[in-house]
Every structure is written in structure tokens, then in C-alpha cells.
Amino acid sequence: MPIRFLTILSVFALVFAACAGGGAEETSTTSQPVEATTTVAPTPEAMLLSYSLEPGSTLTYEVDMDQSIVMSVDGDASALGDGEEIPAEMDLSIAGSTTFTHEVAEGPEPGTYAITITGDLSDLQVTGTMDDEPVSRGDIPDLAGMEPVEVTIVVDEKGNVIPDESNLGEGLDFFGGLGGFDMLENMGPGAGGSAGQFIGPPFTEEEVTVGDSWSETVEIPTLPGDDPILTHIDSEVVGTDVIDGAGVLVIETTTATSAIEFDLAEILIGFMTAFLPEDATPEEQAEMDAMVEQLRFAFSIDPTASEMTTWFDFEAGLSRQADFLNTTHLIMDIKVPDEDTGDLVEMALDMTVAQDITYRLLDAGSA
């Protein structure tokens, strides 16, 4: 009995919405200076740090990228449900420079910004192999995230990313969006990394200057009954500098996100059983029960660590430069019915994305 249901990727969107529900709980601590730091600009008095973005303005950043994607697939990749041919082995290097624009609008709540980030990745150079053959850019699967980026992120004046159900799925590429699983950008700062991310760390409510540090823990609810995703963010002002004539604070931020694990089998079972007719025969019910017993959809991301250095213009309230390092490791283990035939197909995917991204502000002006 063929069973047709929504594609696998549509299920992800529902899971993302569940993860965003309920909001994030945050705690933070601040410590005072422990030692002096050599600087090339005067050390300012302690101050409150915040982002002063103007609705209607546009920030243009030059983005230098150096990224690697290593992936292996065992089984039938049609289990992903999108009809795309997926290589069994892939080892890609993606590097080069491009520009991203950040268009600032008023956020859904006072004191928040809705930032639409767009970028074209066509100028990046791609090298490597797929199934032991030299890579051709035209053959790269969508999961490599080489399509143009367009995503809207909501942040507050302190730089906290606010999960927003209304923009989940816009421009999100579950497999990477050029590195680091863009869907995590709506699940709290530092959970993953992407060229299309908000640039800069979340700030403390306390006044800080050179030598001060602060910590924050962001808790993101997941599926009912599952443990929340925890992200620990530690930042320190390590010095000052001058960029384009503007005095900046140099802030080093380390981020550690707990393992992310989803068992989507129960969600898929709900979809499948919903399509079973009320007058199903005993044979049809038995076939469904047998399929449900074999169904699996395990998805996990290992604990993720990232490092970021930000050159923050405290007078203008924006980041003039940032360096970001991140590695993400994802595993999927799937056994689901084929969308057309209803036959069970299996697939195991293992993928690691490592990246080094540098942002430099080129222009800040009106949209």
C-alpha cells in the first residue's frame, strides 16, 4: 500500500518551530578586570555596550570564507525526499571573497531589529572530489549550500538572537547554507555558524572596559520530553584598536553548544497514520503497524565549539570586523517509506563542516 506524506524536509520545519517555541532562558555573570592589556588606542572608561542599528539602514560586509565539507552517505539518499542525487562520498573546499548586505528594519517588539541578510556565493571557488571524481560546480548538490543566501534574523539591542516562528524556514538550508546549519541561527547565538549570521556577540547588562568578561547561558526548548539545547557564551574585552579611524573594543568570544539530538520517528508516524483511511482493512492496518515498527529517523549534531573575535565600534554601536571559527559534525540515520512506492528505504549520513569566516564592514548607509 503506497503511503504518500509530506517530504522529510517539511518535517524539519515543524521541528524547528517546536524548538523555537517557549523562548530562551538566559543567565549571565560579569567579572571585573584582572590584568591590563596592551592596546593601540586609549582604554575607554567602563560603559554599557549595545547595538545601535537604524531601521532603514543597510550594512555591507566583505566576507572572506574558507570552508571544508566532508560527507559520506551509506544507503539510499532518496530517503531525504527531495529527489536530488546525493554522492556517496564528498570532500569539498569552498573559498573566496564575496559581500553580504544586512538590511535593518524594526523588529516585532520594541528594542529589537529584524535584519535581512543577503549574499551571492557565485564568486566562491570550489575544489575537491565527489565519488572520487574532480568536482564540477554544476554537479554540487544543494546540501553544499551554494545557492544565494537570504535569511531574516531578529535580535535585540544586546545582540541576543530571538527565535521567531514567523521567519523559520525562510532561506534556511538544513544541511548548511554554506556552513554550520543555518537553522541554528534561529535557535540561539553560537549554536552553529553561517555567512548569513548576525555579526557580534551578545552583551552584558553591566558596564565593561578592557579586561572585563561576562558569561551567558542560553536555553532553547526542544521537543516535549527532550532535554533543552544549552549554549554557553563567554566573552572578554581583550584590548582596543582603531579601524577606519574609529576606536573599537576587541572582544574575544567562545561558544559551546550542547549536543543536539532529535528522534523524529514519532512525528513521521503521526503523519503516516493520518493518511490511513478510517475504514482500513485489517491487512492495511497490519501493513502500517509493521512499517511503524521499523521506522527510524535519528538526527544528531555533536557538541559544537566556536571562537569569534569582534572589533566593536562602541560609538556607532556596530561591528566593524569579526573573525569566526567553527566546526560542526552531523549524523543522520534514516529508515522511512519512499514517497512514491511506500517501500522502506534506509540511509546513513555523516557530515563535517569546518569554516573560517572573516567579516569587514565596507559601508553603512541608508537602504
For residues 219 and 229, what is the distance between their CA atoms, to the nearest angstrom?
A: 6
Beta strands in 221-343 (DSSP E): 229-243, 246-257, 260-263, 296-301, 304-313, 318-337
Burial 92-125 (b: 16+ CB within 10 A, else e): bebeeebebbbbbeebeeeebbbbbbbbebeebe
Number of domains in the chain: 1
Beta strands at 133-134 and 260-263: parallel, antiparallel or unpaired: unpaired
Of 215, 149, 184, 159, the residue nearest 302 (C-alpha):
184
For residues 268 and 262, what is the distance between their CA atoms, to the nearest angstrom?
A: 12
Note whether residue 225 is domain-resident.
Answer: yes
For residues 313 and 308, what is the distance between their CA atoms, to the nearest angstrom?
A: 16
- CB 235, CB 249: distance < 8 Å: no
Grid coordinates in use for 211? Answer: 579586561
Alpha carbon 90 to chain centroid, angstroms: 21
Note whether residue 272 is domain-resident.
Answer: yes
For residues 103 and 261, what is the distance between their CA atoms, to the nearest angstrom?
A: 33
For residues 235 and 215, what is the distance between their CA atoms, to the nearest angstrom?
A: 6
Beta strands at 296-301 and 25-31: parallel, antiparallel or unpaired: unpaired
For residues 277 and 366, what is the distance between their CA atoms, to the nearest angstrom?
A: 57
Q: DSSP 3-state assignment of 343?
A: coil
Q: Which helix (H) or strand (E) holds 79?
A: none
Q: Which pLDDT does position 26 carry in this prediction?
A: 55
Q: Which pLDDT does position 200 carry in this prediction?
A: 93
Note whether residue 3 is domain-resident.
Answer: no
Note whether residue 1 is domain-resident.
Answer: no
Grid coordinates in use for 23? Answer: 523562548
Range of the domain at 214: 8-362
Note whether residue 236 is domain-resident.
Answer: yes
Grid coordinates in use for 37? Answer: 592589556
Note whether residue 135 is domain-resident.
Answer: yes
Per-residue pLDDT of the chain (367 residues; tens, 9 = 90+): 433 333 344 434 333 333 433 445 555 555 544 443 444 577 889 999 999 999 999 999 999 999 999 999 998 776 665 555 778 899 999 999 999 999 999 999 999 999 999 998 888 888 999 889 898 777 676 656 667 888 899 999 999 988 755 433 333 333 333 233 334 444 434 434 567 889 999 999 999 999 999 999 888 777 666 778 888 999 999 999 999 999 999 999 999 989 888 777 777 777 777 777 878 888 878 877 777 777 888 888 999 889 999 999 999 999 999 999 999 999 988 887 776 676 788 889 999 999 999 999 999 986 5
Note whether residue 247 is domain-resident.
Answer: yes
- CB 67, CB 244: distance < 8 Å: no
Q: Which single residue is written with the C-alpha cell 545582540?
A: 159
Note whether residue 2 is domain-resident.
Answer: no
